[in-house]
């Protein structure tokens, strides 16, 4: 039994190490990325935020060398943006507040459930939270994104982005959910990250 526990602990450590230090995050200076995607910059994006969570995504289709920009069918946003960051500001900048909310990031957006007796209103949570599907402007930004941790305070700058897959002419939209779209979920090209705490 001890051997099984040690094996599980070693496996968990390997998974954590891979996720923390080795997972590749695509960026716009990689060869081939802009051959597959058109990234049109829209309005400015900037602000001071608390990182509430982050989640990695993989392509929906399994292909050989899935991380290579030269191989496979590039019809998934994950080839350009494989990480979502859940951000809080206002009241959600404080750990004592955001810990009273159960966030679930999926489908490139998020749902949340407020814990009973928290005193928080759903409109407040929506107003003070944002889920961004990040597009890294370069390799340095990709490394900084990978190193973001829950609870960190950061200043982010970039542009809201409109993304189209060139071969299929497919437009990617995040936050589209029945019965209504959620404007607090967006694709953002990040050009600057400054860590303020953590």
Question: Which pLDDT score is estimated for 71?
Answer: 43
Task: Evaluate whether 150 touches 125 at the Cβ level (below 8 Å).
Answer: no
Span 11-44, pLDDT tens digits? 877 776 665 556 689 999 988 788 889 999 999 9
pLDDT at 180 over 60: no
CA–CA separation, 86 and 129 (whole Å): 7
If you average pLDDT over residues 153-182, what whole number do you get? 83
Span 45-86, pLDDT tens digits? 999 999 999 999 887 655 444 444 444 455 689 989 999 999
Q: Which residues of 91-120 are buried (b: 16+ CB within 10 A; e: fewer)?
A: ebbeeebbebbebebeebbbebeeeeeeeb
Question: Which pLDDT score is estimated for 65?
Answer: 46
pLDDT at 172 over 70: yes
């Amino acid at each position: 039994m001890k051997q099984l526990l040690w094996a599980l602990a070693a496996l968990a450590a390997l998974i954590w190490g891979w996720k923390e230090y080795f997972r590749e995050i695509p960026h716009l200076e990689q060869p081939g990325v802009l051959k597959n995607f058109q990234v049109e910059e829209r309005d400015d994006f900037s602000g001071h935020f608390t990182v509430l969570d982050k989640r990695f995504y993989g392509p929906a289709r399994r292909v050989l060398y899935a991380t290579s920009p030269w191989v496979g069918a590039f019809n998934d946003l994950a080839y350009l943006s494989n990480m979502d960051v859940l951000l809080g500001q206002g009241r959600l900048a404080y750990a004592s507040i955001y810990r009273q909310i159960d966030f679930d990031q999926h489908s490139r957006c998020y749902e949340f459930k407020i814990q009973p007796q928290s005193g928080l209103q759903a409109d407040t949570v929506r107003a003070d939270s944002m889920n961004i599907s990040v597009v890294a402007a370069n390799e340095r930004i990709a490394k900084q994104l990978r190193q973001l941790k829950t609870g960190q305070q950061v200043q982010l700058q970039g542009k809201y982005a409109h993304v189209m897959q060139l071969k299929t002419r497919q437009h990617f939209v995040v936050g589209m959910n029945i019965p209504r779209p959620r404007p607090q979920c967006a694709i953002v090209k990040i050009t600057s990250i400054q860590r303020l705490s953590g």
